[in-house]
Amino acid sequence: MSESLSFGDLRREVLAANLRIPEAGLATLTWGNVSGVDRDAGVFVIKPSGVSYADLSAEDLVVVSLEDGRVVEGHLKPSTDTETHRCLYRAFPHIGGVTHTHSTHAVAFAQARRPIPVLGTTHADTFNGPVPVTEDLTAEQCARDYEYNTGQVIVALLEGDARRAEEVPGALVSRHGPFTWGATATASLENAIVCEAVAEMALHTLALYAPGGHPEPPRHLLDRHFTRKHGPDAYYGNPAPAAVR
């Protein structure tokens, strides 16, 4: 990549995160997109629309204004989902990256309009609650500013609550698919990988559940897993716990 290109580090990170979409098996054709934000500069960097991952370069990424969605830099059209990313950045000031995919199992839940339930600790390590599903967009929301409104239905689902958005870093847009977010573009992409993995595990688990019901996983176990990885008692960054005798 030419060193003279602006937002070099952010472009490199956003490119790498986009390239992990097909690598992680989350992409069909050119579907999906990752962006990352530079809040000081008031812009985000996003995948161009319809470009194959094999051909994608850092120079192809598009720089968009957070304020009004104008393209600030780029020779290609930004992703069709750009306004959804912009809406999420504006609603949740703590997020640094957004990922959208059409990964199969997460989309299956979105199409069935069912949240991805918390069925075990794998889910609880990343999402402190079910991955929720939005309402369907209304005819008016589809007719005008559809992509921004797609972000708005996610924000409405979380009641604009930044803390909820931090603890459950993703949502399923009804009949469409998952959007995930995180502190960085890389984190948002990794949350998309986890979202797909836990959706697949949930489908298998629900199929194996005994007819007539199954006990819920104990809340204390799920909480323990989430708080090991997130918040003030997180393991990373803290001294290793003393060995248990």
Instruction: Give the residues lining the site for ligand HMS (CB under 6 A).
Output: 30-31, 33, 47, 49-50, 79-81, 100
For the CB of residue 85, give the shortest distance to ligand HMS in the complex, in Å: 10
Q: Rounded to whole angstroms, how far apart are CA atoms 194 and 177?
A: 14
Examine the residue annotation and report whether 125 is marked as an active-site residue of this protein.
yes
For the CB of residue 117, give the shortest distance to ligand HMS in the complex, in Å: 24
For the CB of residue 51, give the shortest distance to ligand HMS in the complex, in Å: 7
Q: Which of 9, 40, 55, 236 is catalytic?
A: 236
Tell me whether residue 118 or residue 172 sits nearer to ligand HMS (CB atom).
172
Q: Which of 38, 53, 60, 125 is catalytic?
A: 125
Q: Is the dihedral of CA 206, 154, 34, 188 positive or negative?
A: negative
Q: Rounded to whole angstroms, how far apart are CA atoms 97 and 14?
A: 9
Tell me whether residue 176 or residue 225 sits nearer to ligand HMS (CB atom).
176
Tell me whether residue 11 or residue 100 sits nearer to ligand HMS (CB atom).
100
SS3 102: coil
SS3 31: coil
Examine the residue annotation and report whether 236 is marked as an active-site residue of this protein.
yes
Tell me whether residue 79 or residue 188 sits nearer to ligand HMS (CB atom).
79
Q: Rounded to whole angstroms, how far apart are CA atoms 122 and 133?
A: 20
Q: Rounded to whole angstroms, how far apart are CA atoms 52 and 33?
A: 11
Residue with tokens 């819920």: 216
- Catalytic residues, by residue number, are 125, 236
